[in-house]
Amino acid sequence: MRSLWRQGLRFAALLALSALALQLVFVARIALMAVVDPESTTFQRSEMWRLVAQRRPLEWGQQWVALAQVSAHLQRAVIASEDAAFTEHVGVDWEAIERAWERNQRAEAQAARRAARQPAARPRHPPKVVGGSTITQQLAKNLLLSGERTVLRKGQELVLTLALEVLLSKQRILEIYLNNVEWGEGLFGAQAAARYYFRVDAARLGPEPAARLAVMLPAPKRFEKARGSSYVAERAAVIVERMGAVDLPP
**pLDDT at residue 35, as a whole number:** 95
Measure the CA–CA gap between 33 and 173, rounded to whole angstroms. 9
pLDDT tens column, 159-195: 999 999 999 999 999 999 999 999 999 999 999 999 9
Determine, yes or no, domain membership for 3. Answer: no
Strand partners, 184: 187
Domain that holds residue 79: 8-93+132-243
Determine, yes or no, domain membership for 118. Answer: no
**What predicted TM-score, i.e. pTM, was given to this entire model?**
0.83
Measure the CA–CA gap between 188 and 23, rounded to whole angstroms. 27
Q: How many domains does the chain have?
A: 1
CATH code of the domain covering residue 230: 1.10.3810.10
Determine, yes or no, domain membership for 112. Answer: no
Directed axis angle between helix 151-167 and helix 2-32, to 10°?
40
Determine, yes or no, domain membership for 37. Answer: yes
**pLDDT at residue 119, as a whole number:** 59
Measure the CA–CA gap between 173 and 194, rounded to whole angstroms. 20
Residues of the chain with pLDDT under 50: 122-123, 125-130
**pLDDT at residue 115, as a whole number:** 61
Determine, yes or no, domain membership for 210. Answer: yes
Determine, yes or no, domain membership for 117. Answer: no
